[in-house]
Amino acid sequence: MSFRHIVRIAGVDVEGDLPLEYGLTKIKGVGPRIARACATRLGLDPRMKVGYLDERSVESIESFLRDPVRYGVPPWMVNRRKDYEAGTDKHLLGSDLILAVKQDIEREIRIRSWRGVRHSLGLKVRGQRTHTTGRIGPVVGVTKGKSKQK
């Protein structure tokens, strides 16, 4: 069993000296919970170094990450529940996840939902305060000391 310093999993280069559980979280769309589920469902040690994975294990990890529900993971753990187009539970990775989020935002802007309006105006979307935070542009108002206009 040889050690590899970089292992390519699901199109991402993962450092070989990371534990499997943390190495999988370097893939966009995979968090700690789904990484732990992947390791335990496939019978791999979550603390084992990524560099010691063989090709068969890497292929099984990629297969698991493409469709975790097929491996017995509950649907609430996937990152794309009840997809807008297909209506099914999916788990997206990398650029597919980024593209899906962009399409969701564009759809909300197009239908003029509250979130879409906030997105289009560049304001905060999730109910945060905007009185003092989230300001953009140059500073307006107070001048200090000798730089005051007379």
Domain ranges within the chain, ordered by starting residue: 6-77
DSSP assignment letter at 133: S
Whole-structure pTM value: 0.76
- Model confidence pLDDT, tens digit, residues 8-41: 999 899 999 999 999 999 999 999 999 999 999 9
- Model confidence pLDDT, tens digit, residues 55-94: 999 999 999 999 899 998 899 999 888 888 888 888 999 8
CATH of domain 6-77: 1.10.8.50
Distances (CA, A) of 80 to 22, 28, 93: 22, 13, 10
Q: What is the pLDDT of residue 149?
A: 60
Q: Which residue has the tokens 């700690």?
A: 32
- In the predicted model, is pLDDT for residue 148 greater than 90? no
pLDDT band at 107, cuts 50/70/90? very high
